[in-house]
Amino acid sequence: MSVDAANPLAQELNPWLAADARFNEAAGRLAMDEGIRKILRSPSREITVYVPVLLDDGRIEVFTGYRVQHSIARGPAKGGIRYAPDVSIEEVRALASWMTWKCAVVNIPYGGGKGGVICEPSILSPGELERLTRRYTAEIIEFIGPEKDVPAPDMNTTEQVMAWIMDTYSMHMRQTVTGVVTGKPLDLGGSRGRPEATGRGCMIVTLEALARLGMKPEETTVVIQGFGNVGGMAARLMSRRGFHVIAVIEYDGAVYNAKGLDIEALLQHRKETGSIREFAGGEEIDRDQALFLECDVLLPAAKEGVITSRTAPKLNCKIVCEGANGPTTAPADHILSEKGIFVIPDILANAGGVTVSYFEWVQDRQGFFWNEDLVNQRLEEIMVNSFRDVVKYSEKYKAHNRLAAYMLALDRVAFAIKLRGLYA
């Protein structure tokens, strides 16, 4: 993803520039030492690999893959692997830094990492995907491991992909190493509650925001952008808790019902048809305009760069809960703040996934697995405490929530670096 200096929107949408702008603002407010700033700004390691794969038709294709380890000051790097045609080193670098801050905000003992392979997974057969995954794993194998860097699923990667990574790593180690990845199938050392974790975390922090603003779930309307694992699960859990999910926005359309959608029926409709369109329980509306519907909570759970300096002024909500990574650009932060919208930033809101990934890693290392009630109980405890920590920083420094979350994260990582000192 190259940055077009002549195109302001392209610069605004560049994830690394957004991450750097927020880092600089938070570090400035903390009056952080310049040397510590340099350490925190720079990735620990960036790896580029070229992955040859034998395709089903006998041709050989070479794919480009990345793994960025932003920080290992607080523990092993942690972060997903995505497969997409637009993966770039700038994107992976930014996502790795966000993982550092996310893990620090919820105070779990990880640093930040991220990986990606430039490919179009929808046109690859299962066999091609497996060969791509195994060769990519082999190329980065010396840099990953339970004590080094623990990958997880991300865009277009699944628990099956994690199983292939675990198996490839285990074959090289000559022993089964379940803790090398998280987001695995239950039968291979996965954790109960992991598929629902990110959506559940979004619901938990939204409930905390409602309590702070004197609102009740049963009187709260929600618009959700994205109906995949995060958005779909958040919709299901929120609906069960009494929220009125009035609109769902997907890549191919949007569906609306002022009284609240029947989420279970919509999930079933999407399963049967592959789309939310032509759903009998709601009316189809323009997907771009649906983002600006009047509602109490807007939950973007699809992709980066949705709330920009152009779209932020049109939002008509009281709370933004960021289920996706980087849905709001840096220039839009201040617009949302001026509008008085209560933002639950991504590095807090969607941290439920990495939190339960941490639980999975702990369970793998213990060889002892928890029931789902215990997973959910511990997730709620961490998400609630983290929400309150961010709000305390917001009040202490008179900063909007995203800035407060970054300040809290930078403070924690910087403290760990100072305690460890510099190896020379």
Query: Which pLDDT belongs to residue 304?
Result: 84
**144 and 210 both lie in a single domain:** no
Task: Classify residue 301: in a domain, yes or no.
Answer: yes
Same domain assignment for residues 287 and 157:
no
| Structure tokens given for 299 | 């939950």
Per-residue pLDDT, 4: 58
Asked whether residue 161 falls in the same domain as residue 279, the answer is no
Same domain, 118 and 67: yes
Domain count, the chain: 2
pLDDT of 374 reads: 98
Instruction: Choose one of 328, 349, 370: the last residue of a domain.
Output: 349
Q: Is the same domain home to 330 and 218?
A: yes
Q: Are residues 211 and 343 in the same domain?
A: yes
Smallest CA-to-CA distance from 166 within 403, 20, 416, 360 is with 360
Check whether residue 114 and residue 147 sit in a common domain. Answer: yes
What pLDDT is stored for residue 105 in this prediction?
A: 98
Shared domain for 229 and 299, answered yes or no, is yes
Query: Residue 250: beta bridge partners?
Result: 253
Q: Considering only CA atoms, which of 157, 148, 103, 108 is closest in space to residue 129? A: 157
The answer to whether the beta carbons of residues 199 and 232 sit under 8 Å apart is yes
Q: Does 31 map to a domain?
A: no
Q: What is the pLDDT of residue 377?
A: 98
**Residue 368: inside a domain, yes or no?**
no
Cα distance between residue 366 and residue 352, in whole Å: 21
Integer Cα distance of 195 and 199 in angstroms: 9
| 126 found inside a domain | yes
Q: What is the pLDDT of residue 6?
A: 64
CA distance 256 to 56: 43
102 is catalytic: no
Token pair recorded at residue 78: 């942690």
Q: Which residue in 38, 78, 102, 114 is the catalytic one?
A: 114
Give the C-alpha separation, 305 to 297, whole Å.
18
What pTM was estimated for this model as a whole? 0.93
Please, what is the Cα angle at 95 between 137 and 143, to 5 degrees?
30
- From 302, 320, 349, the end of a domain falls on 349
Q: Which of 336, 286, 346 is nearest to 307 (CA)?
A: 336
* Nearest Cα to Cα of residue 138 among 63, 51, 80, 44: 51
Residue 260 lies in a domain: yes
Give domain status of residue 237, yes or no: yes
255 inside domain: yes
At residue 1, the pLDDT reads 44
Q: How far apart are CA 263 and CA 236, in angstroms?
A: 6
What phi and psi, each to the nearest 5 degrees, are found at residue 88? Answer: -140, 160
Do residues 154 and 204 both lie within one domain?
no
160 and 212 in a single domain? The answer is no
Q: How far apart are CA 165 and CA 154, in angstroms?
A: 14
Nearest Cα to Cα of residue 258 among 287, 291, 218, 222: 222
In the chain, the amino acid numbered 28 is: G
- Whichever domain contains 124, its CATH number is 3.40.50.10860
Mark 204-242 as b/e (b = at least 16 C-beta within 10 Å). bbbbbbbeeeebebeebbbbbbbbbbbbbbbbbbbbeee
342 and 267 in one domain?
yes
Domain match, 132 and 222 both: no
Nearest to 137 by CA among 107, 111, 106, 173: 173
Report which of 207, 205, 204, 209 is spatially closest to residue 217, judged by C-alpha positions.
207
Token output for 120: 């179009």
Query: Which of 118, 164, 165 minimizes the C-alpha distance to 145?
Result: 165
CB 384 within 8 A of CB 204: yes
**What does each of the 424 residues of the chain score in pLDDT, given as a tens digit?**
445 556 777 788 887 788 888 999 999 999 999 999 999 999 999 999 999 999 999 999 999 999 999 999 999 999 999 999 999 999 899 899 999 999 999 999 999 999 999 999 999 999 999 999 999 999 999 999 999 999 999 989 999 999 999 999 999 999 999 999 999 999 999 999 999 999 999 999 999 999 999 999 999 999 999 999 899 999 999 999 999 999 999 999 999 999 999 999 999 999 999 999 999 999 999 999 999 999 999 999 998 899 999 999 999 999 999 999 889 999 999 999 999 999 999 999 999 999 999 999 999 999 999 999 999 999 999 999 999 999 999 999 999 999 999 999 999 999 999 999 999 7
Count CA atoms closer than 13 A to 2's CA, side-chain side: 3
Residue 10 lies in a domain: no
SS3 of 212-250: HHCCCHHHCEEEEECCCHHHHHHHHHHHHHCCEEEEEEE
Q: Which domain holds residue 72?
A: 43-178
Backbone angles phi, psi at 116, to 5 degrees: -170, 155
Rounded CA gap, 265 and 285, in Å? 18
Residue owning tokens 């980066």: 304
Last residue of a domain, one of 317, 349, 381: 349
Looking up residue 276, the CATH number of its domain turns out to be 3.40.50.720
**What is the number of other CB atoms lying within 10 angstroms of the CB of residue 394?**
18
